[in-house]
Amino acid sequence: MCPSPGTGAGERGYVIPIGGAEEKLEHPTILKKFVGLAGGKKARIVIIPTASRLIDTGPRYVKIFEDIGVANAKFIPLETRADCLREDYLELLHQATGIFITGGNQLRLSTILGGTPVAQAIRRLNADGMPVAGTSAGAAIMPEHMIAGGDSDTKTPTEDGVTLSPGLGLTNSMLIDQHFTQRNRLGRLLTALSFNPFVTGIGLDEDTAAFINAKGEFEVVGSGVVTVVDPSKLSHSSMGSVRQGDPVSLFGLRLHILAAGDRYDCTTRTPVSAD
């Protein structure tokens, strides 16, 4: 799904995928920057804990945002597709100045939210300027094409190495993977990219975020790196002919390692240094 056109009245809001395990207590750099974009102390943050099966995930993030200084942080317990029709929850979303989607299982997010008024609201509100942040599963759900699962660790690219699913479609210029270095996910991101190399692959380390602005440029924030794999100059791929389980050949990928402060323009596919 392409990003919503929204009302076209203003600039699109930031899309902020976070690689999971973001620092929450001592130096919550990423969360603070998100709160700043959402209005600072006057922010009204709505938390969507649907990906998580832990009942304290919502209340926990409320406390985290309150500790950062946000006066108004609430979670909406969307546990079923029926919950995603509730007017009171939709009203909370419309009154918010920022939306935060927690980690867990991205397939819970997509199966519960997908196609509902809540998903539609998130898409439209973001198009009209509201920043939307998500960590881990909450980051995975953001693009048009979501990495739903696949092999982490010890895996080279293979035809069956990844499962894709439709995502929220807040961006359609990238594929996002998270816990990237920590879970050795280069292989599965390469697999996902090789299916149709029109997007850019974004591998987010833990405690690391990409703050994507309305122009499709992002800045790296956090303690790890963002691994950008640009397959647009791919000169050879054996994905179309390889036997199931056999490793896939991919020639001519471009690779950029971006640390805090570095930026990347997804349209021109150009990295810009923090220096």
Name the residues annotated as catalytic: 136, 179, 206
Q: What is the DSSP letter of 52?
A: -
Q: State how far the Cα of 143 lies from the Cα of 147, in Å rounded to an integer.
A: 9
Contact 38, 8 (CB under 8 A): no
H or E segment and range at residue 265: strand 263-265
> What SS3 class is residue 178?
coil
Sole binder of a copy of itself in the list 109, 176, 253, 266 (CB under 8 A)? 253
In angstroms, give the least distance from the CB of 249 to a copy of itself: 5
List, in order, residues 6 or more apart from 87 with CB less than 8 Å away.
Answer: none
- Binders of a copy of itself among residues 105 to 164 (CB under 8 A) are 153-157
207 contributes a contact to a copy of itself by CB under 8 A: no
Burial class, 7, CB count within 10 angstroms (exposed 0-12 / middle 13-18 / buried 19+):
exposed
**Residue 254 is a binding residue for a copy of itself (CB under 8 A):** yes
Q: Is 269 in the site for a copy of itself (CB under 8 A)?
A: no
The site that binds a copy of itself (CB under 8 A) totals a number of residues, namely 41
Q: Which is nearer to a copy of itself, 30 or 70 (CB)?
A: 30
- 30 touches a copy of itself by CB under 8 A: no
* Tokens 């939307």, located at residue: 132
- Residue 99 in contact with a copy of itself, rule: CB under 8 A: no
- Contact at 8 Å (CB) between 250 and 161? no
238 binds a copy of itself, rule: CB under 8 A: yes
> Do β-strands 208-212 and 200-204 pair in parallel, antiparallel, or remain unpaired?
unpaired
Residue 29 and residue 211: Cα distance in Å, rounded? 12
User: Considering beta carbons, is residue 167 or 187 the nearer one to a copy of itself?
Assistant: 187
Is residue 243 involved in binding a copy of itself (CB under 8 A)?
no
187 touching a copy of itself, by CB under 8 A: yes
**Of residues 249, 265, 266, 269, which one binds a copy of itself by CB under 8 A?**
249
**C-alpha distances in Å from residue 159, one per residue of 166, 181, 255:** 18, 21, 21
Smallest gap from residue 198 Cβ to a copy of itself (A): 18
Name residue 14's amino acid. Answer: Y
Choice between 117 and 247, CB closer to a copy of itself: 247
Site of interaction with a copy of itself (CB under 8 A): 153-157, 181-182, 184, 186-187, 190, 205, 223-225, 229, 235-236, 238, 241-242, 246-260, 262, 271, 273-275
